[in-house]
Chains A and B, each alone.
Chain A
Amino acid sequence: MFWLRLIYSRLYGLLRKNRIEQEMDDEMRFHLLMRTRENIERGMRPDEAEREARRRFGNVGRIKDLARDIKGGGFMETLLQDLRYGARMLMRNPGFTLIAVITLALGIGANTAIFSVVDAVLLKALPVNEPDTLALFEWQAGSSFRTNGASGASYVPGPPGTKGDSRFRSDIFEKLRAQAQATDSPLSDLFAFAAVSGVTAVTSNQAETVNGQAVSGGYYAGLRVRPVLGRAITDEDDKPGAAPVVVLSHQFWQERFDANPAVIGQPLKLNRQFFTIVGVTPPAFNGALQVGYRPAVTLPLACGPLLRGEDAATAKADEPDWSLYLMGRLKPGATYEQARDSLNGAFQAAALAVMPPPGKVNEPAQLDPKEYPRLLAQSGSLGMQDMRRRYSPTIYGLFIVVALVLLIACANLANLLLARATSRSAEISVRLAVGAGRWRLMRQLLTESALLAALGGAVGILFALWGDSALLALTDKDTGVLPEGVDLSLNWRVLAFTLSVSLLTGALFGLAPAWRATRPDLATALKQSRRTTGAVSRLGKGLIVAQVALSLLLLIGAGLFIRTLYNLQRVNLGFNQENLLLFRLQPKQGGYKGERLLQFYQRLFARLDNLPGVRAATFERIPLIAHDNSFADILLPGETEQTAAEHNTARQTARENYFATMEIPLLRGRGFTAQDDQRAPKVAIVNQTFARKFFPDDDSLGKRITVIYTKREVEIVGVVADTKYESQRMEIKPLLYTPWLQEGDMIGTMHFALRTTGEPTALADTVRQVVRELDSNLPVTEITTQLARSQATLGQERLSARLLSFFSGLALVLAGIGLAGVLAWSVSQRTNEIGIRMALGAQVADVLRLVVWQGMKLVLLGLAVGAAGGYVLQRMLASKSFAPASWEAQKANQLYGVTLTDPMTSIVIALLLVLVGLLACWIPARRATKVDPMVALRAE
């Protein structure tokens, strides 16, 4: 109650008139009273006396305004007065206000949209209790530290000569966990988790593929997440041989189980194994894995083997793969360094113990101590960092682009305000002469700018919302700009950002004009003539030049990306991608293996081969142009593991009609046949690059090579033409094909390709039907056409090209408007001069030339500055000392088929700018020619 009254009285005091205001009111009132009395003494009637007194007083409001100018007045009063004044000014020039607000809204909106991406991907903390006491562990070692079974790129940054990863082996995790349970450990919990994607879940008799994760027993306790239904996974569930249990995500529970509370205790079939549902997690919680990854099901680590179809009793407790992510909970007062140091010793010993023996000739048997693996610890409040590190260069790049667009918009507004301030200089000078404080007047002008900026910010938020949904619509799994499943909604951070950007913008474009306008240059300002020379100030000229230069750089960037996209779309893939229907099956997850698996495929092909509309049906282990790959180390004839240097090749496994179906020409030898089965001699086919690389002077046919991982020796029986493998962009690598019948244990997941007579998607339902008839529990996933997939692989390039084109186009439009506006103002101020010229004999063409040249001078100067700036920028990016290695690599890898300094692109863009500049100059120039000399000379 007391607090309420206190707040109320404080608020009231703020809104009540300030003491100074009150005093002024009292003083005026006293004066009025005295005057009235005097009038009454003179003989006037009371009401007449008062009226006359008021009339003599004049406009009280204006007196108070002037007084406030001098004294300062109460804060609230002046603020309100400024706001009212500013609003009045803005409403008086609706055209200007509209253009200004829209310009600002576009700039601020773009920045807000991109910032919400930054926030969602890079800044948002995990929705768990006290995320600041979570520690994330990663490790780093010298590059000669050997690991087995850590695949994929790691984004743990480190100095050159080191490697790092965020993943650990399960046996190493066990040892660390034991260490963390010591009483003096700075950690209260240590837990591990891993993503398990592509799990087949059967709900209400429908099979679908979902994302899941496997966690250690201390996961939920460590994250302090309480389930909304049932219970969480505990250490008891994470023991080998324990009953298989599963926890559902809130979204999964709502969508597939209709939020039915009776699911607890019910069985759920995952990959042919039954798990008991024991709990449901809260709505916002999606685990600590990569941003955007939403596991629908969570199960104990110990049940991992069950998902792979292995027998629970004989399941190996330790995983030789480095696949677990590690996080811990710090005890109150503990630091990340303490946690790291407490576990480092145990980690190092364990890691060194599982290092595989040297497999190649240049691998040292013993490691140098400075190459030993060491633990790293950092804040875990953001969850896993890999994806963030991968996306951040692109996102920050986008951020820079939109910041530049905003700068251009600000420059426009500054120029507009400069022009307007000049025309108000008479009024301002009078007030300065009367004694108004300069700072007071500047504040008033700045309030106007702030109002504009606030309006711009408000409209900008609308633009940002619209932009965000457009961004989400544009991204898919492959664009690499946004991870899927990212939530881009407004939150207080984004709004605070918008607010600060708006204020900063207002200060930026308002400060310079306010400063210049209130310069105490009374002599010039009080001149009778309201017309100035029409000369654009140096500041104004500089702003235009800067705008043109920035637009040039942005447009060249867009041009380069567009050309890159164009080039990539025209890359020769090496096979025919028209009319190809693709889909994926994972029978191994459905429990097929060995002979049963082969028979399943045979039966399926028997149906697919004879489908109407299908010319040929085949499959491959690695889908083409899908950012997928598989590599293997091989031994050439006569080499052994100890003596060989590293030979690495890409791998593919396919059906015998693969090359014919995909229309990959066979160059030498033969293709696969149905006779290349389990009993026949092991064979392989290589691509041209393989043949050239490993057998440059020889014929590769007949050579026997060994794949180290499988220890299998194969004989090369054919050579095919090169095809692109992972993507259109990647260079062609050596590729080794093997027939599917000879890779029985590796074909658990296969990607099918059907060459169709007509539109491929028309057969999608038929295909699903065929598979369902063979096995209703096997979901058909990733149904698409090869054309669509190839396009999707270019998603990032396409998005970059689109975004950059949009923003640079925006910048161009803004710069054009700015130039036109400034010239138009100049012309309006120079009507006198133009009138004189025309009276003295100047032709229309001369006037046009006059105005156009005034503008084009700035454009050309801007082009020169932009070109120089671009050159310097390119030098800086090229010199390794400036840009971090990964950033530089990113930039260099973005382009394809063009270089940063591509002359043709630069010239075309420069010409475009000149054209736009001419257009921007043309409109004011035309208006200049319409000046009637007689009217111009008379109006003074």
Chain B
Amino acid sequence: MPTSGAKLLQGTLDMLILNALSLGPLHGYGIGQRIMQMSEDALRVEEGSLYPALYRIEQHGWITAEWGVSENNLRAKFYKLTRAGRKQLQIEEENWERLAGAVFKVMQTN
């Protein structure tokens, strides 16, 4: 299903965040770090985009937040994937694959 430009951007970041959390709860800083690690430094999420995305995803109910203690004994807010979140991750993944495949096909034709 085709998506408009803005939605695509938004959706991709959401997907990455959900994916980062699929391995376990993380705080905001940790999410940014993990995405960077998993992409081998290719994707850097700016703080300006990260937190609004986090809050938006939280509004949708795909993640929940809880205050806890970080690895260096500081108080931090941890985010955890919900069951609905896992389902959403799957949907986004499928969409992304479909889209990527279509784009690839177009580029190949030329």
Contact = CB atoms under 8 A, between A and B. Distances in A.
Nearest to B70: A30
Interface stretch (B16-24, B48-56, B80-88, B92-100): B48-56
A58 B52 contact: no
A778 to B, nearest CB: 88
A27 B52 contact: no
A526 B59 CA distance: 25
Nearest to A71: B55
Given A58-B46, A58-B48, A30 B55 contact: no
A71 B59 contact: yes
Main secondary structure of the interface of B (DSSP, over half): helix
A435 B29 contact: no
Contacts of A62: 48
Contacts, number: 67
Contacts of A433: 6-7, 10
A67 B72 CA distance: 27
Contact of B74 (A33, A71, A435): A33
B4 interface: yes
Nearest to A62: B48
Contact of A435 (B10, B48, B77): B10
Interface residues of A, number: 26
B76 A63 contact: no
Contact of A30 (B52, B56, B77): B77
B25 interface: no
A66 B52 contact: yes
A58 B47 contact: yes
A57 B55 contact: no
A523 B52 CA distance: 22
Contacts of A30: 27-29, 70, 74-77
A221 interface: no
Nearest to B48: A58
Interface string B36-80: 000000000011100110011011000000010010101111000
Contacts of B52: 63, 66-67, 70, 434-435
Contacts of B28: 27, 30-31
Find the residue from A27, A35, A433, A435 having the highest chain B CB count within 10 A.
Answer: A27
A26 interface: yes
A902 interface: no
A683 B67 CA distance: 110
Interface in A43-76: 56-59, 62-63, 66-67, 70-71
A67 B74 CA distance: 23
A462 interface: no
Given A30-B70, A435-B52, A63 B4 contact: no
Contacts of A27: 27-28, 51, 76-77
Q: Which of B28, B47, B59 has the most CB of A within 10 A?
A: B47
Contacts of B72: 37
A318 interface: no
A522 B6 contact: yes
Contacts of A59: 48
Contact of B47 (A23, A56, A522, A523): A56
Contacts of B51: 27-28, 63, 66-67
A354 interface: no
A57 B47 contact: yes
B51 to A, nearest CB: 6
Contacts of B4: 522-523
A526 B9 CA distance: 15
A34 interface: yes
B9 to A, nearest CB: 9
Nearest to A430: B6
A30 B51 CA distance: 13
Contacts of B59: 70-71, 435
Contact of B55 (A37, A67, A523): A67
A59 B6 CA distance: 22
Contacts of A70: 52, 55-56, 59
Nearest to B46: A58
A430 to B, nearest CB: 8
A62 B10 CA distance: 18
Interface in A16-34: 23, 26-28, 30-31, 33-34
A78 to B, nearest CB: 14
Contacts of B58: 71
19 contacts: A23-B67, A27-B27, A27-B77, A30-B28, A30-B70, A30-B75, A31-B28, A31-B29, A35-B29, A57-B47, A58-B46, A62-B48, A63-B47, A63-B48, A66-B52, A67-B55, A434-B52, A522-B4, A522-B6
Interface of B: 4-7, 10, 27-29, 46-48, 51-52, 55-56, 58-59, 67, 70, 72, 74-77
Kindly list the 3 A-B residue pairs having the minimum CB-CB distance in the complex, ordered from nearest. Answer: A435-B56, A433-B6, A34-B29
